[in-house]
Amino acid sequence: MLALRLLNVVAPAYFLCISLVTFVLQLFLFLPSMRQDPEAAWLFSPALLHGALFLFLSTNALGNYVLVIQNSPDDLDACQGPSARRAPCPPPSTHFCRVCARVTLRHDHHCFFTGNCIGSRNMRNFVLFCLYTSLACLYSMVAGVAYISAVLSISFAHPLAFLTLLPTSISQFFSGAVLGSEMFVILMLYLWFAIGLACAGFCCHQLLLILRGQTRHQVRKGVAVRARPWRKNLQEVFGKRWLLGLLVPMFNVGGENSKQRDK
């Protein structure tokens, strides 16, 4: 349990450090390298378009990350006390999280990178957090590949060029042909690639469970759920104003869960 609580502190710090490093590399390395023609139109310059797209992806990733932390799943400890006599307890599909030390409604899993449980209140923000983190990492990897290709004059036309980049760069780094900053960017390329694929996998798996109306905890415990139309399952999580929530980090998008809390 001590190791889990320690991981619950280290993992969010790791994510924030990676986000800070990514922002610094984008601002001080990748964006300046795109300003090749000073006489080009400023409004349609590659640096401005790249910066606007990266700002959109990173803002949605960090915004939904904060919302996942702020909007914790409903604490059902009150159902075990005197308040249970005044109000009926929520339906089953609850779970006691040992890390958070509380009972949550529609518990899915405990996310160590946010240090919080994922449940009915923050499921939509968690899915969007995984989506935009994956896009931001993969986009940063593409920008980093373009930067390394221009600085080291490396062609990535061959499909295996990216796979052989790391071992080749390590040997060149110890021989002095590759600078420390360039080697750091190369290492970040593989880290962005791994995080991007992992978050994309989490996002796709979570969407599949939402379509089925299940949670990861129910699948792990073998709990059967009542079959419902997939559109209703999606609307319950993403709400009626799902497009607005997809473009701007926000919590209440007219979902059924938010309506129940307002009552």
Q: Of residues 111, 130, 137, 199, which has the active-site annotation?
A: 111
Q: Which residue type is seen at 137?
A: C
Paired residues of 148 in beta bridges: none
184 Rama class: left (phi>0) / alpha (psi -120 to 50) / beta: alpha
Give the helix/strand (H/E) hosting 116.
strand 116-118
* Of residues 243, 234, 241, 248, the one with CA closest to residue 206: 234
- What is 56-94 written as a DSSP string? HHHHHHHHHHHHHHHSPPPB-GGGGSGGGGTSPPP-S-E
Q: In 94-229, which residue ranges form alpha helices assigned H by DSSP?
A: 123-152, 165-175, 180-212, 216-221
Q: Which residue type is seen at 184?
A: F
Q: For the packed helices 2-25 and 180-212, what is the interaxial angle rounded to 10 degrees?
A: 120
Q: Among this protein's residues, is 111 annotated catalytic?
A: yes
Structure tokens at 142: 């593409």
Q: How far apart are CA 61 and CA 259, in angstroms?
A: 25
**Residues noted as catalytic:** 111
